[in-house]
Amino acid sequence: MKPYADKVLRLASMADQYAGYLKELGKKWEEVSGAKVEVDILGYVELYQKLTQDYATHTKQYALATVDIVWSGEFAVKG
């Protein structure tokens, strides 16, 4: 039984050495859960811009994101 069949999770990831592996993990998660994982691999500035826009507008484009540790404090303070 796949409890999350027909669900889609979008992950925004920085274009770094782990991005390709996140795509592989997404495929494995889909096999186990049924939920499809779409990984958007973005440059540093583009990732920050897309996440801040997503959070500020509450569009919930991304369910998951990798972030630079320095952004965590900013995101927390701004709610």
| % of the chain with per-residue pLDDT over 70 | 100
Question: Could you tell me the domains of the chain?
Answer: 8-77 (3.40.190.10)
Does pLDDT of 9 surpass 90? yes
> What pLDDT is stored for residue 52 in this prediction?
93
Q: How far apart are CA 48 and CA 30, in angstroms?
A: 27
Average pLDDT over residues 3-9: 92
Max CA separation in the chain (angstroms): 40
pTM for this one? 0.82
Q: What is the b/e burial string over 32-43, where b = at least 16 CB atoms within 10 angstroms of the residue's CB?
A: ebebbbebbbbe
Structure tokens at 75: 């995101």
> What CA–CA distances, in Å, run from 27 to 22, 23, 33, 76?
9, 6, 10, 30
